[in-house]
Chain A
Amino acid sequence: GQNIDQPTEMTATEGAIVQINCTYQTSGFNGLFWYQQHAGEAPTFLSYNVLDGLEEKGRFSSFLSRSKGYSYLLLKELQMKDSASYLCAVRGNTDKLIFGTGTRLQVFP
């Protein structure tokens, strides 16, 4: 079967760093994606990892370990506008994205 696990909720303080973990078990693997979704809005693409290691893009970084079926999204210098859900999604054997349930991040002042 296909399974993607993320914590349901996390909280953090403005200016801090937060790490959102994702573990996956899928039929095949051809990349892992992180999306940001504000309430009632569309998912917005943040990052893509297909090889092991860290990809950095501004305040956001994403890490992948294929042997462990594990990824994390690291958000630095948190801002209030970062309060959103963060969705982990895997591209398996086919072109579709398989999504986790998402992690709802609340940033407090």
Chain B
Amino acid sequence: EPEVTQTPSHQVTQMGQEVILRCVPISNHLYFYWYRQILGQKVEFLVSFYNNEISEKSEIFDDQFSVERPDGSNFTLKIRSTKLEDSAMYFCASRGGGGYEQYFGPGTRLTVT
């Protein structure tokens, strides 16, 4: 069964450093998302992406964040200058055009020290 994949599974970085989280959505999906989940808290929407542009972004998704689909398979989230409060699990999700259910990847645990 096709699935969303994410790399790395765990990333440790120092405050102020840039990180890039990578995702490979399900191959025939058209809509892509990033969510995050701070430990013990609820899953929060960051950004949605369709047709090579951002569809919607949350208040969390400020100028430090950017997304890109550099080729036909990868979808990346970049945090330019990480802060301690960016420590969270970051989930990529995708969905096809025929349904509204989103399928989540296994997540990248980002730890900012």
Contact = CB atoms under 8 A, between A and B. Distances in A.
A101 B42 contact: yes
A45 B100 CA distance: 11
A66 interface: no
Contacts of B99: 48
B56 A42 contact: no
Given A101-B41, A101-B42, A96 B33 contact: yes
A33 B42 contact: no
Interface in B96-113: 99-107
B56 A95 contact: yes
B31 interface: yes
Nearest to A6: B42
Contacts of B44: 99
Given A33-B101, A100-B42, A42 B106 contact: yes
Q: How large is the interface on B (under 10, 10 to 19, 20 to 34, 35 or more residues)?
A: 20 to 34
Contacts, number: 55
Contacts of A101: 41-42
Contacts of B45: 96-98
Contacts of A95: 31, 48, 50, 55-56
Nearest to A91: B100
Interface string A73-99: 000000000000001010100111111
A-B pairs, top 7 by smallest CB distance, nearest first, are A42-B104, A96-B45, A99-B43, A101-B42, A45-B101, A99-B42, A43-B104
26 contacts: A30-B100, A33-B101, A33-B102, A35-B104, A42-B105, A42-B107, A45-B101, A45-B102, A45-B104, A48-B99, A48-B100, A48-B101, A89-B43, A91-B100, A94-B55, A95-B31, A95-B48, A95-B50, A95-B55, A96-B33, A96-B45, A96-B48, A96-B58, A97-B43, A98-B45, A102-B42
